[in-house]
Amino acid sequence: AIERTLSIIKPDAVGKNVIGEIYSRFEKAGLKIVAAKMKHLSQAEAEGFYAEHRERGFFKDLVSFMTSGPVVVSVLEGENAVLAHRDILGATNPKDAAPGTIRADFAVSIDENAAHGSDSTTSAAREVAYFFSALEVCPRTR
Ligand code: CMP
């Protein structure tokens, strides 16, 4: 089915100047960018986005990393987009990420892992709505 998923290019990858390289991999895989913005997250915005991880030991470091510089937040649309996007990103821990995936190529640690992708269509709906209004998502007409 055609799905939408939320993609975040994290501060480490923005700092490495690989936004275009990452977008190119999405496009080559047939995923379409239907919404996009660059944003320097506030602490409250990062905490809200990752609220489900609030009790985890890594939460404080995660929020501090995610607010350390700008991110690029996008909505990707395509066949099986949630899984297709996660395949392109590779495993959360770059040590486990398959060669040729974004995390294998650009991430250095599980904390600074280059990109985020929604883990299910349910999370995707919540995450897309967290960052984008309905009018900011632009279905392709051509
Ligand atoms: P992300 O997909 O953005 O969702 C939560 C983030 O927490 C995850 O990517 C990792 O960058 C980070 N993180 C740090 N430690 C862990 C861990 N032990 N398990 C899962 N995520 C972790």
- The pLDDT tens digits of the residues spanning 4-23 come to 999 999 999 999 999 999 99
Average pLDDT score over residue span 39-56: 98
Q: Is the CB of 91 under 6 A from ligand 1?
A: no
139 Cα to the center of ligand 1, angstroms? 30
Model-level ipTM above the cut of 0.90: yes
Mean pLDDT for the chain? 98
Is the confidence at residue 62, as pLDDT, over 90? yes
pLDDT for the residue numbered 36: 98
Q: Please report which helix (H) or strand (E) contains residue 14, including its range.
A: helix 11-15
DSSP-derived secondary structure for 39-95? E---HHHHHHHTGGGTTSTTHHHHHHHHTSS-EEEEEEEEETHHHHHHHHH--SSGG
Respond yes or no: is residue 85 known to be catalytic.
no
User: What is the atom index within ligand 1 of the atom nearest the CA of 117?
Assistant: 2
Q: Which residues, 6 or more positions from 138, have their beta carbon under 8 angstroms from its beta carbon?
A: 34, 35
